[in-house]
Structure formats: structure tokens, C-alpha cells
Amino acid sequence: MARNRKNKKGNKKTFGARNDSNAQKGWSELVKENEKWEQYYKDLALIPEGEWDEFKRICQAQLPLTFRITGSRKHAHEVLQLFEDQHLPGLTNVTFEGEEIQAPKRLAWYPENLAWQLDVSKQVIRKNEQFSKMQRFLVVENAVGNISRQEAVSMIPPLVLEVEPHHAVLDMCAAPGSKTAQLIEALHAKNDEPTGFVMANDADARRSHMLVHQLKRLNSANLLVVNHDAQFFPRVKTDDSRRFLKFDRILCDVPCSGDGTMRKNVNVWKDWCTGSGLGLHTVQLNILNRGLNLLKNGGRLVYSTCSLNPIENEAVVAAALRKWGNKIKIINCDDKLPGLIRSRGVSEWPVYDKAFAKKQKGDEGTIESWFAPSAEEASHFNLSNCLRVYPHQQNTGGFFITVFEKMDEEEEQSAKRAGFENNEDINQEKKAKSAEDAPQRQKKEKLPRDANEEPFVYLDPAHEQLQKCWEFYGIDDDFDKSNCLVRNAAGEPTRVIYMTSSSIKKIIQGNEDRLKFIYSGVKLLVAQRSDIDCSWRIQSESLPIVKHHMNQKRVAKANLECLKHLLLESFPGFETMEKLHIDDEFTKKIRALSPGCAFIHVSRGEDKESLFLPVWNGSKCVNLMVCKEDTHELLYRIFKVDSPAKVAAPEKKVGGDRAPQEEEEASQPAESSEAQG
């Protein structure tokens, strides 16, 4: 995670080369040169001499576009198939202005071929018809959460963390959230209702709220966003108030100087200096040590930076190994992510101060942990098990990753017999406890307009409004009805009811005095009309869970022709659907239901994902409650209809029988005054 640099008021960000019109206005291209950076990394000898020119050339070049396909396996592979069938052929053997353009390629090391890289310029994407069409595809799929545009090397830390559905996971420095999204996806990969959770933290209040925008589209009831200084992250209570939670998996993607991101953050070229890494070293070590304190025995922690500087990487790792002794070890990841070109960690490096003067251990103004380990320490630390990914190795950014494991008692005793000693210090835990107890001085920051700082209040499962909903929708007893909450001081259901997992509920109710909660819960119920049997409709965000607990009372099976008609036609009348024989069984059942929210189930065969979507059932018509982004995506993915605007008008003419105005208004999704950001 690169350090957040705030521009001075009045200055504009520089993103690299400017076009001619900007140059005429006084803009000039940023020079991608830094003598001290070049001298420093040549002296470190991290890059073989014969590779330096290529390394520097790639660092100066534009970063490729990379993306990964998300979601359940069936869903993800369907989107992958669509990309390979509809777009990849047109992107192969393409020439632009007389030069052959590289076709998109899979990231060889990413599981199941679900991540891709495009080594083409923005000019080609804008001006070439096939690449422009692919770009529109990426935009649409990204909008609905099927694709995440993420830098390739940024995808590595969550993969080697190896999250399982039952794990308690902490992301200590989560913003902007791309890695956190991977952790959530891994938690849900095998089960729509995992028992574990992901706690996403960031020290900056505004970035914590912005993190929500990145993560809420994943619709996870197992996510909690909090706002704390990661160096002193509070202990989290469990059910037993005398005990504190230890996490199974922790990601420490710490703030860093970010010289591995200079391909996209071009200001690094002019801002880089040795002082940045030296200044961040202590903060990075504090965060890592706090993470190791919070880690369960047998658990796994990943420490990562987007820096290539050993002062921020191996020096931090070595200091933690020196402190924790036999309690932790570095996992060798040579067998992980086959196809990833990587280099080993180093055990020797020089130290330069802010003035670029070479320093020795013990010199005035130095910190001992900046320096390389002794020969004896190096033989035990196994820093070669750290991963270094350099930009020129596979045309990416630069990254550093270390995977720690906290050993259980049996492994600890074995390590002691092998000659290791435990130097663990409880000072870090004491500092964290002091930070918990000290009065919190809140910075006055301008938060996003939709940031909600109302409390999280869980409802009595026997609440009258909830009981009406369970009966109306046929929700079974296996659904945990005690996990429903509201976000208002009155604690009463007014406009929106949310739901969380049981694991998140325990944390929220047990840690109100020690955790600053920012966001949790997915929308379950939204208030609609009051003149019908049930004035609440189930929100689509919660359907992946709720559909498993719902009987067929308000579910109507539909065929693909019916689905297409509902996607293209707003408020189609029942009489028209009967005349056109658009799925007579569906029309018969949906028409017989009382007005209100209902659902359609579209089976597409064993090899493809079934669809379960909400509809609003009126007295004369039905309306599919899907947003325009999802409508566009479903039409393209399932029916190969590229632009619904071009084909919707003829369909509407056929439909003829429009719903009354009041019914149209009632069919629209209600806006929530309790949006969580």
C-alpha cells in the first residue's frame, strides 16, 4: 500500500505525458528520471547488472491494463467464456498504425485463468474498434461487480493468504479495497453463508468510508469495516468477555514509499528519496508486530508492500523475527502460484541516510533494525523465502510479499530444541491496550455525503414487522432471524432493515465500546407500499442468502424467453403476455399472487448459473426489479444483446397495455434514508 500523498491546494495531479493542447497551456511531460533512485538500487544490486536497462525501461513505461473475473465459479467461468468467445478473437492478430498489437494474455499464475493482462496503450483502446468494444464490456461487467480492474501484483497477497470460509480475517490497512475484495470473495468461494468474516480496517476516516464504496457491491453479510490506527489495533472481544479474539488470517499491506508503483504513480519519480523508506520503517514494524500479536497460533499473516526497498521489506521482517523468535516462521512459497516469475528475498543491504550518506550500525541518528541481520541470524531467518516481484520480470508493478505462520505449541517446542529462543515482548500489547483506554481525539474530516454514523441496532426476531415478512415470503427456521438490524437511533424499522452474519453480530454487540464501526450489513428489507399484505420487499443484495431459505410460495419459474421480455419491457401487462403466450405457466402463477414483491427463477442447465431475480407484482402488470447496469449486463451475457436502448422501443410497441401511473410509481425501488455509504 503506497503512502497517501495529498496535493497542495491549487495543484493538479500529474499523470504523466500531456497531450499537445495541454502542453500549449503550460503543461510539460514529467521526466521519469531520478539519479538517487538509480544509484541506490544499483548499489543494492537487487537487479542483475545485465537486466538493469530493461528494468529501468519497464519502470518508465505505461502500466498494462489488468483485470480479474469475480463471483461464483459457474458465474465467473461464464463471464470468462463470454470474453474468450466474443472479444478475444477480435483482439488477436490486430495491427494499429502499421504495428502488430499484442493480444490479451492470461496471468499464468492466477487460478483458473480468471485474470488477464493487456499490454496496449490507452490510445489503441480508444481508437481501435475491437479494443474499444472490449473496454465497454469491461466497464459494464465492472459496474455490476463481475470484473475487478486491479494491478496484477496487487492480486498476489490475498492468494497466498489462503482464506477459507470459516476463517476470522483481518485486513489491517484495507483502503482502497481491491485486496479486501479478494479476501471476501475467497471467504464466499465455497459457501454463500460462510461462518467466518472479514474485518477491514483503515486508519484514515475518509478512506474508511470510501472503502465501503468498493466493497458494498460484493453484498457480503460477513464484512465489517472499522477505523483504527493499525499500529494499536484494539483487541476484539469474543462471546466470553474475558477472552479476546485471535484471527486465523491477517493481511498487513502496510503504508510504504510506493516505488513499486512508479509506472502509474509517476510523481514517485520526482519525490523518491532514501528518507521515505527510513521514515516509514518503524510504522511498518509496529503494524506487523501488532498483527502478529492478534494472530492465532497456527494462523497465517501476509506482510506486503509495493516498495522494492529492503529497509521497508526484509529489514522489517528481520526485526519481527528477531522479536518473536521461535513463535513465528516464514513459509516457503516456491510451490505457490506456479507460473509467477519471482525473485528471492535478500539478507544483505547497505543503509543510506536522508543525505544519501552510507551508514554503519551504531552511527548517530540510525535505528538498529534498519541494518541487515548478522550471519548467524540470517542462517535462521530464511529471508530468501520472501517474495520479490520486479516490474521487468512479467511487465507488472513491483511488490514484496512475506508469508508468516505463527507456530503452535508443539512446533514451538521443536524450534526451541533446534536452538531458537523466544524474544517476544509484551510492550506492544500494553501500548495497544493503552491506546484502547485513552480518550480518542477525533479529527474533523469531511466525510462522504452518504456516510452514516448512526448506531447498529439489532431487532428482536419476534418484532411484528419481521414476523409479517417471514410469513409473507415463507422464510424457514434455518434462517437466523436474530441477525436483522437497523441504522437509526430509535432502533425501529422505518425504511431499511439490514442483515449480518452471526459472527459479525457477536463482534458488533460485544465491542461497541472499543471498535469504531463504519459499515456492516447488506440490505434485507426495504419499505414499500402500505396498502398491501406486506409493506416490505426483499432487496436483491440479500437474495444470494435468502433464496436458500424461501419456500416456493412467491417464486415463479420462468423460461429464457420470458426473462428476455421482462428485461426489455417495463411493466408488461398480464393480458399482453397471455396473448403473446410468453411463458403461460409463469404468467398464470405470478398473476394469481397478491400484489407485492415476488421472484422469478430461471434454470439454465447444470453447467450454467441459475438466475433468481426480484419482481414487483401489480394488479395488471409485472416489473423486473433490476437496475439498468444489471439489465444491460444480463442482456449482453445471456442474449448477446449489446445495447438494450436500440431494441427496447419495438418491444414496448408490441406490449401496448401499460400499467397505470400509480402502479409504475409503486414498482420503483424505494430510496433509503439510511444508506450506509
Q: Which residues are part of the catalytic machinery?
A: 306
Full DSSP string of 126-175: HHSHHHHHHHHHHHHHHHTTSEEE--GGGGHHHHHH---TT-EEEETT-T
Q: Answer yes or no: is 229 a known binding residue.
A: yes
Q: Answer yes or no: is 310 a known binding residue.
A: no
C-beta separation of 387 from 401 below 8 A: yes
Q: Answer yes or no: is 177 a known binding residue.
A: yes
Q: Answer yes or no: is 127 a known binding residue.
A: no
Q: Report the C-alpha dihedral over residues 342, 344, 349, 353, rounded to 10 degrees.
A: 40
Angle at alpha carbon of residue 110, lines to 115 and 612, rounded to 5°: 60
State the Cα–Cα distance between residues 538 and 381, nearest whole angstrom: 54
State the Cα–Cα distance between residues 573 and 619, nearest whole angstrom: 9
Q: Answer yes or no: is 642 a known binding residue.
A: no
State the Cα–Cα distance between residues 7 and 142, nearest whole angstrom: 28
534 vs 28, 106, 201, 463, CA distance in Å? 63, 49, 38, 14
State the Cα–Cα distance between residues 297 and 294, nearest whole angstrom: 10
Q: Answer yes or no: is 103 a known binding residue.
A: no
Q: What are the cell numbers at 57?
A: 525501461
Per this entry, what is the length of the chain?
Answer: 677
Helix axes 73-86, 628-639, angle to 10 degrees: 70
Over 215-260, what HEC string results?
HHHHCCCCEEEECCCHHHCCCCECCCCCCECCEEEEEEECCECCHH
Strand partners, 401: 304, 387
CB crowding 490-506: b at 16 or more within 10 Å, else e: eeebebbbbbbbebbbb
Q: Answer yes or no: is 178 a known binding residue.
A: yes
* CB-based contacts of 263, cutoff 8 Å, min separation 6: 58, 59, 60, 61, 62, 63, 391, 397
User: In degrees rounded to 5, what are phi and psi of residue 209?
Assistant: -70, -40
Q: Answer yes or no: is 59 a known binding residue.
A: no
Q: Answer yes or no: is 104 a known binding residue.
A: no
What is the helix (H) or strand (E) element at residue 547, kind and residue range? none
State the Cα–Cα distance between residues 262 and 457, nearest whole angstrom: 45
Q: Answer yes or no: is 271 a known binding residue.
A: no
Binding annotation for S-adenosyl-L-methionine:
173-179, 202, 229, 253
Binding annotation:
173-179, 202, 229, 253
